[in-house]
Amino acid sequence: MTQKLIFFDIDGTLLDDEKRLPESTKQAIAQLQADGHFVAIATGRAPFAFKPLMDELNISTYVSINGQYVVHNDEAIYKNPLKPDALAALEKYAAERQHPLVHLNHEDWYANTKDHPQVRAATESLKLDQAVKYNPDFYRNSKVYQTLLFCTGEGEAEYDQTFDQLDFVRWHQYSVDVMPAGGSKAAGIGKLIEQLDIPAQDVFAFGDGLNDIPMLKSVQNSIAMGNAADTVKEAAGSVTRDVHDDGIWHGLKMAGLLR
């Protein structure tokens, strides 16, 4: 079989709602690797937030932070931080509305507010061992690859209308991913495809979230999870079963990637 490049989202795709990795998914990834395929992660998470999963699956290539930090074989090949002036404007605008922010780089995350209930609820849903630290000045002194804005749905539209240097994609009822305008998993995937020189027909992607839509639209062989929203399914070439129902294994069989 020709060598393929297969991208997997994490939450709701590799991991179920309880952040568990189905055994069938683990076996499927191992089989792809044994057959000589490139297996990569494409996630909104920062690298520190999925290192145990990478270790468990023996994966060292990934598109992280919604495409802003791309790594191949443990070496960063693309970095796309947020512009300092855009971050400063976002900080001022969000503070006026009492909306907390959490800034991320590839190693850690830092809140500008202490122990806010929305920050706590959203970040704890990821079930990470690495707690959010308090450092309101982090964005001034370090590269930030993504910011988490904490507001409910009715407050989101005004940010979209105000900041043309930034894109906003909701991932939790309380939180929105903030990325450089035009930044996406699709853009990061493009950098990795260019690096590996893989033909378009040999690239596959699995996802379930709103931030997966650009990826699913851009990759020739795209599969949405059965638990994805209808808008996500409409962006994909095909739909597999729910993550709880061996969705990855079934989707790989559908795509002819598993024997």
Distant-in-sequence, close-in-space partners of 106: CB < 8 Å, separation ≥ 6: 46, 47, 48, 64, 65, 69, 76, 145
Q: What is the mean pLDDT of the chain?
A: 95
Segments forming the whole domain that contains residue 127 = 84-180
154 pLDDT above the threshold of 90 = no
Q: Domain for residue 39, yes or no?
A: yes
Predicted confidence at residue 60, as pLDDT, reads 96
1 pLDDT above the threshold of 80 = no
113 pLDDT above the threshold of 80 = yes
pTM to 2 decimal places: 0.93
Q: Which of 9, 177, 208, 246 is catalytic?
A: 9
Shared domain for 68 and 10, answered yes or no, is yes
pLDDT for 57-79, tens place per residue? Answer: 999 999 999 999 999 999 999 99
Domain boundary residue among 153, 180, 207?
180
pLDDT for 224-251, tens place per residue? Answer: 999 999 999 999 999 999 999 999 999 9
Predicted confidence at residue 259, as pLDDT, reads 79
Domain boundary residue among 119, 145, 180?
180
Q: Residue 140: pLDDT band by 50, 70, 90 thresholds?
A: very high
Shared domain for 132 and 49, answered yes or no, is no
Shared domain for 71 and 192, answered yes or no, is yes
Shared domain for 171 and 107, answered yes or no, is yes
CATH number of the domain bearing residue 142: 3.30.1240.10
CATH number of the domain bearing residue 33: 3.40.50.1000
Shared domain for 69 and 114, answered yes or no, is no
Catalytic, 177? Answer no
Domain count, the chain: 2
Shared domain for 74 and 187, answered yes or no, is yes
Q: Quick one: average pLDDT of 74-88?
A: 96
Predicted confidence at residue 152, as pLDDT, reads 87
Shared domain for 25 and 94, answered yes or no, is no
Shared domain for 174 and 93, answered yes or no, is yes
Shared domain for 44 and 115, answered yes or no, is no
Question: Is residue 13 a contact partner of residue 208, using CB atoms and an 8 Å limit?
Answer: yes
Shared domain for 108 and 191, answered yes or no, is no
Domain boundary residue among 180, 195, 228?
180
Q: Domain for residue 259, yes or no?
A: no
Q: Quick one: average pLDDT of 18-38?
A: 97
